[in-house]
Amino acid sequence: MTILDKIDLSQRMDQKQYALRLIEEQRRLLQLRLHLGGHMGDNGPGPGLLVVFEGPDASGKGGAIKSVVGHLDPRHYKVLNCGVPSDAEKRHHFLWRFYPDIPGLGSMSVFDRSWYGRVLVERVEGYASHEEWRRGYQAIVDFERSLVLEGVILVKFWMHISDEEQLRRFNAREADPLKRWKLTPEDWRNRDRNHDYQAAAEDLFSKTSHELGPWDVIAAEQKRFGRIAVLETLNNRIEQGLRRAGYPVPHIDDLLDDLDL
């Protein structure tokens, strides 16, 4: 059984529970983010925070990112949507174009798709040769390890949904004139190769999940459950990263005392 086959996509959360958990997890994330940025506490800027989202089309990456950054001060983060590399970018090593947006101490970057395109889209669609995408695994692991060792907290999410749920979301987008722009012929074409992309994802998990940058696979069949899972996991990963860096973890008790739950 593959990693994706083991994910329980039946998990659900009702609206009331979602509303309460959203407040808790977002407030905790805000507290952690302010401490990382040196805006709270007396310790100065902490490690940079780098969050990567991958997964199939319509798996909820955009909504999850909104739940992560929507309540933060826009001066305290940036979101990058990484599409097809330009002709100028193709002249360099495939990781080159990502370096300018890697967060420094106290900063935060969220990548909606990332360098994993080398071993996903470029592999499946044949944009990279077999030798190129095979080399990509080790290059990515070395790259990520170096970032963490130099002061970055790295969190990697794979948003997982079933083929049936993806089709439902595609049809819903097509029927909504305000969301139709999000659906392209390429999305439909990629859907026909879902099996190939899932096989590439399984290789990705086995070859690029390492002690400093493990993959967190999120059951995103229900958007509410997936968003809370992302926030909870992100908060836990930040706390782990702070401890690894020897930076104090702020207490959550002060936040919970203020909540009328």
Question: 91-106, pLDDT tens digit by residue?
Answer: 999 999 999 999 999 9
The pLDDT value recorded for residue 237 is 98
As a whole number of angstroms, the distance between CA 162 and CA 204 comes to 18
Q: Tell me what pLDDT residue 260 has.
A: 46
Please tell me the CATH code under which domain 4-254 is placed: 3.40.50.300
| Interval 175-195: pLDDT, tens | 999 999 999 999 999 999 999
Q: What is the pLDDT of residue 171?
A: 97
Kindly list the domain boundaries of the chain, sorted by start residue: 4-254
To the question of pTM greater than 0.85 for the whole model, the response is yes
The model's pLDDT over 241-257, given as tens digits with 9 standing for 90+, comes to 999 999 999 998 766 55
The pairs formed by 243-252 with CB atoms below 8 angstroms and a separation of 24 or more are 245/46, 245/47, 245/151, 245/153, 247/43, 247/46, 247/47, 248/41, 248/43, 250/31, 250/32, 250/35, 250/40, 250/41, 252/28, 252/31
Q: Using an 8 Å Cβ cutoff, are 54 and 217 in contact?
A: no
Binned at pLDDT 50, 70 and 90, residue 173 comes out as: very high
